Amino acid sequence: MEKLPKEQTINMRRKFLCDSCPLFYSNSPLKIVKASKQYMYDEEGNKYLDCINNVAHVGHCHPYVVNEGSKQMALLSTNIRFLHDNLVILAERIISTMPSSLSVVYFVNSGSEANDLALRLARCHTKSKDVVTLDHAYHGHVTSLIEISPMKLRMMAKNCDVPIQPYVHIAPCPDVYRGKYRDCDFPATEDLSQKYADDVQRIIDDIKAEGRKPACYIAESLQSCGGQIIYPKDYMKKVFRYIREAGGVCIADEVQVGFGRVGSHMWAFQVHDVIPDIVTMGKPMGNGHPVSAVVTTPEISASFQALGTSYFNTFGGNPVSCAIALAVMDVMENERLMQNAKEVGQILLIKLKNLMENHPLVGDVRGIGFFIGIDLVLDRNSRQPATEEASCIVESLKRNGIILSREGPYNNILKFKPPMCFDKENADYLVEKLGEALTEIEQKSNH
């Protein structure tokens, strides 16, 4: 399966590919040559437990998905200017998982294409350009999304003086552990969701004061790259109400967190008991195959159509992409993977929280289903981020055959978003090795 010696692969990569996409473990990158279920294998046959590839949703190279995709590839792949059953069957199936108001689908190729289309829909429907986005958010790599992705904006502003557009408004991320309003700074009776929502209302007031209105509020239903953030109860409800009162629409970005990852629900916005106006989905949808979608209301879709110009996406909704997405949904049902995420996620969360007893480095453990974040701190009172220690732990886990990574503005938050077939034994092994890594580093820093 390996065609070139690893050194040559590295050299050719350095020569022919842009350096803008860093490798995992950049000092000693992994050359992965095959994968199956929740495991990846390097060129020497070493096996790794994959705790982060949320794209390989139903397990790497799931044979049923591969087979359905291969069969359709051999039969037909063309654009949606022709009628095809896969397209409409998938559309109906996705809509069946949504609140009834969300009943029109657009198929695209990536989360970036989905979020860009969501913005176009929102702006067209509201005839406004102003976007309210969350701090540390990342919504995709195309121009329109970089503009509303503070995670990228802040880095570019630091390096290159790239300005924030006047129609982009950054609200504080409702992170009660490390955000603007922290649970440790307020009595337990204080409603932090209201404080964070008030900040959004202030932004809306500012937009109105300039004679405009918000086109939309966009947020991941749980913030991923920003640090695996779970918003306080009722925050989204309040914000959705404020935005709608001001004439805007609400976009739930489910590209990373949707498709059953939370276990209890198909979509993470359902955890918050809200109904968005536009939902975007992507990464897990094709188990690695480039397929994504936008779902919206007939009213918003009608506004878009009134532009009088067609929307055509060359590959979007082709029979192969649809066959693969349908197969992914089949496997989720047949193998009860949401149930698995719920059960194993819950067990893992408890075990990880138990690590806090003996490991002061662990400041916070939070999660739902197979979406878990572990915030590492140098000191539990100041919550100073333990960035260096997080890096050491990721390396230590790698030596034990576990692929885990870190994120957040300080790169100190361990993220856990595995394939949905991750099992109890995997959870035990992860907790055991993570515990050892924590002990090791805590002992080191005590000397």
Q: Cβ 263 to a copy of itself, closest distance in Å?
A: 22
Task: Determine the interface stretch with a copy of itself among 33-41, 264-272, 417-425, 428-436 (rule: CB under 8 A).
Answer: 33-41
Nearer to a copy of itself, 257 or 441 (CB): 257
Q: Is 24 in the site for a copy of itself (CB under 8 A)?
A: yes
- Spatial separation of the C-alpha atoms in residues 285 and 264, rounded to whole Å: 18
Helix (H) or strand (E) holding 354: helix 337-358
Q: Cβ 218 to a copy of itself, closest distance in Å?
A: 13
Backbone CA torsion sign across 366, 370, 373, 374: positive
Nearer to a copy of itself, 231 or 371 (CB): 371
Q: Is 259 in the site for a copy of itself (CB under 8 A)?
A: no
Q: Is 40 in the site for a copy of itself (CB under 8 A)?
A: yes
Q: Cβ 236 to a copy of itself, closest distance in Å?
A: 25
Q: Using only the alpha carbons of the chain, give its radius of gyration.
A: 22
Work out which of 39, 49, 113, 433 binds a copy of itself, going by CB under 8 A. Answer: 113
Side-chain half-sphere exposure of 327, counting CA atoms within 13 A: 26
Interaction residues for a copy of itself, span 300-359 (CB under 8 A): 301, 304-315, 317-318, 320-321
> Nearest Cα to 292, choosing from 263, 262, 256, 266?
256
Nearer to a copy of itself, 236 or 294 (CB): 294
- Spatial separation of the C-alpha atoms in residues 72 and 321, rounded to whole Å: 9
Q: Is 17 in the site for a copy of itself (CB under 8 A)?
A: yes
- Spatial separation of the C-alpha atoms in residues 447 and 304, rounded to whole Å: 63
Burial 68-105 (b: 16+ CB within 10 A, else e): bbeebeeeeeeebeeebebbeebbeebeebbbeebebb
Contact 292, 284 (CB under 8 A): no
Side-chain half-sphere exposure of 355, counting CA atoms within 13 A: 26
Nearer to a copy of itself, 19 or 357 (CB): 19
Interaction residues for a copy of itself, span 114-133 (CB under 8 A): 116-117, 119-120
Residue 445 phi, psi (nearest 5) = -75, -15
Work out which of 37, 99, 156, 275 binds a copy of itself, going by CB under 8 A. Answer: 156
Q: Is 220 in the site for a copy of itself (CB under 8 A)?
A: no
Work out which of 27, 44, 45, 143 binds a copy of itself, going by CB under 8 A. Answer: 143
Q: Is 283 in the site for a copy of itself (CB under 8 A)?
A: yes
Q: Is 144 in the site for a copy of itself (CB under 8 A)?
A: yes
Burial 232-258 (b: 16+ CB within 10 A, else e): beebbebbbebbeebbbbbbbbbbbbb
Per DSSP, 28 falls in state: S
Amino acid at 24: F
Task: Determine the interface stretch with a copy of itself among 156-164, 241-249, 258-266, 360-368 (rule: CB under 8 A).
Answer: 156-164
Q: Is 34 in the site for a copy of itself (CB under 8 A)?
A: yes
Q: Cβ 306 to a copy of itself, closest distance in Å?
A: 7
Q: Cβ 59 to a copy of itself, closest distance in Å?
A: 12
Work out which of 110, 223, 297, 396 binds a copy of itself, going by CB under 8 A. Answer: 110
Interaction residues for a copy of itself, span 48-77 (CB under 8 A): 53, 55-56, 60-61, 63, 66, 69-70, 73-77
Work out which of 84, 178, 265, 351 binds a copy of itself, going by CB under 8 A. Answer: 84
DSSP result, 234-300: THHHHHHHHHHHTT-EEEEE-TTT-TTTTSS-SSGGGGGT---SEEEE-GGGGBTBS-EEEEE-HHH
Q: Is 275 in the site for a copy of itself (CB under 8 A)?
A: no
Nearer to a copy of itself, 294 or 349 (CB): 294
Per DSSP, 210 falls in state: T
Q: Is 105 in the site for a copy of itself (CB under 8 A)?
A: yes
Nearer to a copy of itself, 40 or 427 (CB): 40
Residues in CB range of 383: below 8 A, 6 or more apart: 177, 178, 182, 184, 363, 375, 377
Residue 232 phi, psi (nearest 5) = -65, 150
Residues near a copy of itself (CB under 8 A), total: 104
Task: Determine the interface stretch with a copy of itself among 29-37, 233-241, 262-270, 414-422 (rule: CB under 8 A).
Answer: 29-37
Nearer to a copy of itself, 40 or 386 (CB): 40
Q: Is 313 left (phi over 0), alpha (psi -120 to 50) or beta?
A: beta
Cβ count near 153 (within 10 Å): 22
Work out which of 37, 95, 346, 388 binds a copy of itself, going by CB under 8 A. Answer: 95
Nearer to a copy of itself, 141 or 380 (CB): 141
